[in-house]
Amino acid sequence: MAGVNGARRAAYEVLLRVFEQDAYADRAFRSAAEGLDDRERAFAQRLAYGSVQRMRTLDHAIETLGRRPVRKLDPPVRAALRLGAYQLGWTETAPHAAVNESVELVRRARLERAVPFTNAVLRRLAEGIRPLLDALPDGPLKESYPDWIHETFVRVLGADGALALMRAMNEPLETVVRLVRGEPPPGAEGTDVPGAYRVERVDEALLAEGRIWPQSRGSQVAGLCVGSQEGERVLDLCAAPGGKTGQLRGEVTAVEIDPARARELRGNLATMGRTDVTIVEADGTALPPDLAGFDHALVDAPCSGLGVLGQRPDLRWRATPLPELQLALLRSAAERVRPGGTVVYAVCTLNPDECEGIVDASGLGVLPLGEEWPAFAHPSRPEFLLTLPHVHRTSGFFVARLVRD
């Protein structure tokens, strides 16, 4: 797209694909950013992810200053205005560059009739978006979250905690890898989670060699809570992409329902050198009868993902609680564990209906975790763990260790 900076072009394509074609931001970005150098790619990712993440606030600014409902705009105009508004409101981009290149994107989309409107709205945004943002009251509109997610956070953390959490997940969190084997990466910093190292960036060569694995401290804690040992049998439900699977010791059977994700799981485990894991493609709620008598199980259940909204910019707009599925998976795993065996239930969400609500409904006994991991003890239910992005600087995970009577 001649005349338009490559990073802005890539970000614009991501916005179109995410909001007009329901694509996932990370997948859309991978294809849109092909051919960009490292510097362009980093700028493109910031623009794309930031614009997707801040969509609610951007649309409010566009409608307030542009005086036209965003939903009635042509998709290329909508995407160009969001991209321009994000640059004007949240980056140090020169206003003329943000305005002119966003206008050019509309022109290149062969919407010449919309060019004067786009230009006029962007010039109003250049003058007025910063004062408008400053005047917004603290809350879900200013931080760009759906109201229901904000209300969920308030239930868990109160108004001040919810605001701190929303702000934390609008900023980059730490980058952490799990040491699979060998020495820690040069310059890596040890953390309060054994085997977890904070790094400036993920070393792609070490990753390809299977020496490290990108995995947040919250996720690693969930895997460590299983506590399996050599000689024990372990069932891992919903195992892909395999970060926690790779942590499990013993004779591991990993279950994944989706064939594409099962292929990804096989590849990732092979990279980590875990050729000893048995992978079964099956529905975790209807397991083959021969999968029984396990000493431990890990249920890393699908969820709304409210603890990883910082890493997945589009998730806040598509998140859905899944309590019925989660309870079915937990009960299914418990049935396949021997009496006295343990089940770790983990979800990357902070929604009580998907966390302690599921455990309470399961009827399983609870083995307290708070004393084992005091820094991560759930603020109101210390028998569970709850890692919090604004407190612990890692992804949000709920973890419970349960026992079958």
Phi, psi of 360 (to 5 degrees): -60, -40
Please, which residues have CB within 8 angstroms of residue 171's CB and are 6 or more apart in sequence? 310
Please, which residues have CB within 8 angstroms of residue 82's CB and are 6 or more apart in sequence? 15, 51, 55, 58, 59, 62
Look at residues 374, 370, 392 and name the one whose alpha carbon lies nearest to residue 382: 370
Look at residue 121 and tell me if it is in a domain. Answer: yes
Same-domain check for residues 86 and 75: yes
Give first-to-last CA distance, the chain, whole Å: 64
Do 25 and 305 touch, CB atoms closer than 8 A?
Answer: no
Q: What residue numbers bound the domain in which 205 lies?
A: 174-215
Can you give the pLDDT at residue 126? 97
- Rounded to whole angstroms, the Cα distance separating 362 from 345 reads 11
- Rounded to whole angstroms, the Cα distance separating 275 from 229 reads 17
Q: Which of 182, 215, 248 is where one domain is finished?
A: 215
Look at residue 141 and tell me if it is in a domain. Answer: no
Q: Kindly tell me if the per-residue pLDDT of 5 is higher than 90.
A: no
Q: pTM above the 0.85 mark?
A: yes
Catalytic status, residue 348? yes
- Per-residue pLDDT of 216-229, as tens digits, reads 999 999 999 999 99
- Per-residue pLDDT of 285-321, as tens digits, reads 999 999 999 999 999 999 999 999 999 999 999 999 9
Please, which residues have CB within 8 angstroms of residue 164's CB and are 6 or more apart in sequence? 157, 390
Q: Considering 225, 238, 303, 348, which one is annotated as catalytic?
A: 348
Look at residues 59, 111, 64, 104 and name the one whose alpha carbon lies nearest to residue 85: 59
Q: Kindly tell me if the per-residue pLDDT of 1 is higher than 70.
A: no
CA distances from 148 to 38, 90, 158, 181 (A): 37, 25, 14, 42
Same-domain check for residues 260 and 376: yes
Structural domain tally of the chain?
3
Q: What would the mean pLDDT of 54-80 be, rounded to a whole number?
A: 96
Phi, psi of 133 (to 5 degrees): -65, -40
Look at residue 369 and tell me if it is in a domain. Answer: yes
Look at residue 21 and tell me if it is in a domain. Answer: yes
